[in-house]
Amino acid sequence: MINKEFFFKGFKSILAPDSPAIALGCCFIAIGALLKNLGFNIQESIFSTMLTYALPGSLVMAESLLVGASLLNIFLAVWFVNARLYPMTVSLFPLMMHKSQPKWKYYFSCHFIAVSAWLIMKSNYKNIEKKHRIDFWIGIGSATWTTAVIGTFIGFYASDYLDKNIMIGLAILNPIYFLCMMVGAMKTIQIGASVILGLLLGPIFYFLSPEWSILLGGLVGGTIAYFIGELNVN
Amino acid sequence: MSINVVLAILVTSLATFSSRFLGAVSSEGIKETSKLFRWFNCLAYSTLAALIARTIIFPVGVLSDASYLSRAIVVLFCLFIFFISKRNFVYPTVISAIIMALLSEYL
């Protein structure tokens, strides 16, 4: 089963001074308020955060519902926005794979893949023995997931007291936090080039295809950055 | 709960979980020292950067009501704070919300 020591070590990591808990919580407060304004009840709002647990996907679903999109359209729109989770998972899970751990832990805990938890794990995994990294990861994921659910709950009930300017202020928190974390992670040529090219190519590809812009920006930018890094090493 | 909303949530979660689950399954055959892993690492960072840029420049939701100028001011000022505070993540994050709320009120 799950090793409690490492689970709680991971869970407590969101209490660190530079943890994304505040930014994450504030963004889900904005989501909770948005869902209430769209006509969701509290059960639906919480259910949405628990099952989806991905900010851009929730936003896309909310906007799609607003314009009366079909279920197939919602599926495709969300899949496009959240397809980034695939490379995020593949770039994290091999660091946690250990033959002594059961597979169900990996299949269950992949639900916790999100930018905040991913960045915490990426900056902490070297301090944890490989065998216990999956338990540590489940702890981080449980903590960020709980923060998101609590944020949605608060946002739903606080929505009557949040004016538009406060909502805009809350909405910018997460991108700014992630931008700072990405800039802070630029410690190698490969990662630095990946971040810079992604920041440039994402908006450029938006003019060609809004739906594909994130995937194309990531694929082209990441591939160029990979070859830049490999050439530099050679 | 209305059936349409519940179905929309289920479809959304299915679309989201499929990427995560496929990633977990694919990871089984990839070594952390391999070139494939390094490539995926680059893809992940680049895709996240593309997402952040898109969220700020072409936002959906309430952020789209803020002007380009106010978003640009907040991003540049927060990066400035990030570097002068010796790469502290909390100061620029908290300051961003305050400045953004003030700018959207007065700009």
Q: What is the pLDDT of residues A43-75, one digit of tens each?
A: 999 999 999 998 888 888 887 887 778 888 889
Beta-carbon separation of A113 and B66 below 8 A: no
Tell me, what's the pLDDT at A63? 77
Show the tokens assigned to B59: 């936002």
Q: Which residues in chain A (65-84) have CB-CB distances under 8 A to chain B?
A: 65, 71, 74-76, 78-79, 82-84
Question: How much of chain A, in percent, has pLDDT values that exceed 90?
Answer: 53
What is the SS3 string spanning A142-193? HHHHHHHHHHHHHHHHHHHHCCHHHHHHHHHHHHHHHHHHHHHCCCCHHHHH
**Which position has the higher pLDDT, A181 or A200?**
A200
Average pLDDT over residues A94-119: 92
Nearest to A83 by CA among B15, B26, B11, B27: B15
Q: Which residues in chain B (36-75) have CB-CB distances under 8 A to chain A?
A: 37-63, 65-66, 71, 74-75
- Distance from A16 to chain B by nearest Cα, in Å? 11
pLDDT tens-digit readout, A31-47? 898 888 888 899 999 99
Nearest to B55 by CA among A42, A102, A202, A111: A202
Task: List CB contacts (< 8 A) between B63 and chain A.
Answer: 168, 171-172
- State the Cα angle at A120 between A115 and A125, rounded to 5°: 125
**Residue count of chain B:** 107
Task: List CB contacts (< 8 A) between A217 and chain B.
Answer: 46-47, 49-50, 53-54
User: pLDDT grade, residue A161 (50/70/90)?
Assistant: confident
Q: Please, what is the average pLDDT of chain A? A: 89
Nearest to B92 by CA among A233, A178, A201: A178
Q: Which residues in chain A (1-20) have CB-CB distances under 8 A to chain B?
A: 17-18, 20
Pairwise CA distance, residues A128 & A18, whole Å? 19
List, in sequence order, the alpha helices (H) in chain B.
Answer: 3-27, 35-57, 68-84, 90-106
Q: Is A92's pLDDT higher than 90?
A: yes
For residue A221, give the chain B residue with the closest CA.
B46
ipTM for the predicted complex comes to 0.88
The model's pTM is 0.85
B84 lies within 8 A of chain A by CB: no
Nearest to B23 among A93, A176, A200 (CB): A93
Average pLDDT over residues A202-216: 89
pLDDT tens-digit readout, A168-190? 888 888 889 889 988 988 989 99
pLDDT in tens, chain B (107 residues): 466 889 999 999 999 999 999 999 999 888 888 999 999 999 999 998 998 999 899 987 788 889 999 999 999 999 999 999 988 878 898 899 999 999 988 87
